[in-house]
Amino acid sequence: MSADTPGNGQTPVLELKDLSKSFGGLHAVRGVTFRIMPGDRKAIIGPNGAGKTTLFNLITGIFPASSGQVLLFGKDVTGWQSHRRTALGMARTFQITSLFPRLTVLDNVLLAIKGLRSSKFVMWRFLSSYRDVYDKAHQLLEQAAFTDRANTEVRYLSHGEQRQLEIVLGLASDPKILLLDEPAAGLSSGESVEMTEFLMRLDPKLAILLIEHDMDVVFDLAHTISVLHFGEVLETGKPEQIKNSQKVQEIYLGTG
């Protein structure tokens, strides 16, 4: 993203500066630098083991970075814990579905909404007495066509529904940047088209950083694509550019 100039007066939602992570001798992420502006849709692709999920874990604070910086809305959050980063306006989903399996769909969403409200510490009042939170939850569920399953325990949902709920949970905190870790993982082609349409309907001001193996999803959704290979950004560009890049085809798309 060397073409990016900070001259347009906007603060990047997310900026990585020379971010690296090693596990012992393994350099999982090496010197990654990029910047995401409000409303950007960026995808990170790369073969398995390229360090994509590790990069997400560094951005969200699940792992501490070995070196480099993570800036959220211009603030250096490199040493921060996850929950504080979320409070700034970041949300993520997980490649391996991470919902609350024995709670209902509604409860899952309620927890997600409460996460950034100080009333999460209230212990003398029933959660069910918070009308505004319930209204918001129902609105989110309606948006994702989940209303009829609001009282189903999440473990009884199909895989596709769980993947979609992952994203609903991510959206519940009204984030300004959403990190999607393979939203279409394990979906049938029909389901992944639905997923893409759902994602394309989201607020255009929301910045999205996406990891995905399904190239149809990536090319439909992303404005820019970065290719990660052995922890390094190999190439960054518009979808067309990446599609036609010789290097990328060799390592990732296959030469056929």
Sole window of 41-49, 67-75, 82-90, 191-199 interacting with another protein (rule: CB under 8 A): 82-90
What is the C-alpha to C-alpha distance for residues 47 and 170, in angstroms, rounded to an integer? 25
Told to check if 223 binds another protein by CB under 8 A, we report no
Compute the C-alpha angle 202/208/213, nearest 5°: 105
How long a stretch of residues is the chain? 256
Choose among 215, 114, 112: nearest CA to 154.
Answer: 112
Told to check if 124 binds another protein by CB under 8 A, we report yes
Told to check if 125 binds another protein by CB under 8 A, we report yes
Residues 33-45 as b or e (16 or more Cβ within 10 Å = b): ebbbbeebbbbbb
Told to check if 62 binds another protein by CB under 8 A, we report yes
DSSP 8-state assignment for residue 205: T
The one among 28, 44, 65, 130 contacting another protein by CB under 8 A: 130
- For another protein (CB under 8 A), the number of binding residues is 38
Judged by beta carbon, residue 101 or residue 204, the one nearer another protein is: 101
- At residue 66, the 3 state secondary structure works out as coil
Told to check if 92 binds another protein by CB under 8 A, we report yes
Residues that bind another protein (CB under 8 A): 60, 62, 81-83, 86-87, 91-92, 94, 98-103, 107, 110-112, 114-117, 119-128, 130, 169, 172-173
